[in-house]
Amino acid sequence: MSRTPRALLSLGAGLAAALASVIGVPTTAHAAAPSYVALGDSYSSGVGTRSYLSDGTGCQRSSYAYPRLVAAQKGYALSFQACSGATVSTVTSGQLSALSSGTDYVTLSVGGNDAGFTGVLTECAKPGWMSNCNAAIDKAQAFITGTLPGRLATLYAAIKAKAPSAVVVVVGYPRLFMGEDCNAATFFSPAEETRLNATADLLNGRLAAAASAKGFKWANPTSRFTGHAVCDSPEWLNGLSSPVSESYHPNRLGHASGYQPLVAGLLVG
């Protein structure tokens, strides 16, 4: 049996490719995956999932966080910038460099740390006789209504300038409580929980307004997390935890069942 020389096979393949380019027949090619940049604070980095990437930072980024889950689901190329403790200022100074005119998708959660929500929770968790919860909430609400909108407008404008063609999804914060406190070491009263939930709603309202003003999409997690607050069954939000940094953040279920389907449905177009 005769065999076709390798040189002849190679020549034939080359001629076929050249002919395809001349007559317009498509050849096999792999398109670059859409570019997705995840910006924000601990609610985007994945604090609360108890498992973090060894990336040389203290950002506590998790494979169980919704940006990683959404990117895997959709086949997007993820630049995971979100970092625990981030504020509007640190997102601006430390995360926006990942954006470019070629960025296709952006998610962002920020504002809670600016309003000092961790400090508010710490104050309100104390027994009533040693806490000034209402004053702490009043201060946070005043900041959210008076100062935060200007900061958000500046940040969102910077995102728009750096990634003008990107679909941007601003991601909000869930209500943490459902009317009772099942943690033995915390002392949230029902009235305090109601005010804390109202503060989360107030923050979400300002985030939504700023997003709308810039033409960004808004991902409101409130309804998805209803029935899954701290002490609910199953809870998607950690109560007081060890280490304390895991407390009052979405757990793995919160990211996979709460945030992932919400964000994935908007991160298109």
Give the Cα separation of 59 and 84 in Å (integer): 5
Pairing outcome for strands 35-40 and 105-109 = parallel
CB 95 within 8 A of CB 86: yes
Residues 6+ apart with CB under 8 A from 215: 160
Please tell me the predicted confidence (pLDDT) of residue 4: 44
Query: What's the pLDDT tens digit per position in 115-156?
Result: 999 999 999 999 989 999 999 999 999 999 999 999 999 999
Percentage of the chain modeled with pLDDT above 70: 89
Looking at the DSSP bridge assignments, the partners of residue 170 are 108, 218
CA triple 124-89-217, angle to 5 deg: 85
In this structure, how many other beta carbons lie within 10 angstroms of the beta carbon of residue 244?
Answer: 10
Exposure b/e, 151-170, CB count within 10 A at least 16 = b: bbeebbeebbebbeebbbbb
Q: Is the pLDDT of residue 232 over 80?
A: yes
Please tell me the predicted confidence (pLDDT) of residue 16: 44
| Domains defined along the chain, listed by start | 32-264 (3.40.50.1110)
Query: What's the pLDDT tens digit per position in 4-43?
Result: 444 433 434 444 444 344 344 444 556 799 999 999 999 9
Mean model confidence pLDDT for the chain: 91
Comparing CA positions, the residue from 140, 260, 256, 235 lying closest to residue 178 is 235
Q: Which parts of the chain fold into alpha helices (H)? A: 6-23, 42-45, 66-74, 88-94, 117-124, 133-146, 148-162, 190-214, 222-225, 252-253, 260-264
Catalytic positions, written as ranges: 42, 249
pLDDT band at 158 (very low <50, low <70, confident <90, very high): very high
If you average pLDDT over residues 195-214, what whole number do you get? 98
Q: Which secondary-structure segment (H or E) carries 37?
A: strand 35-40
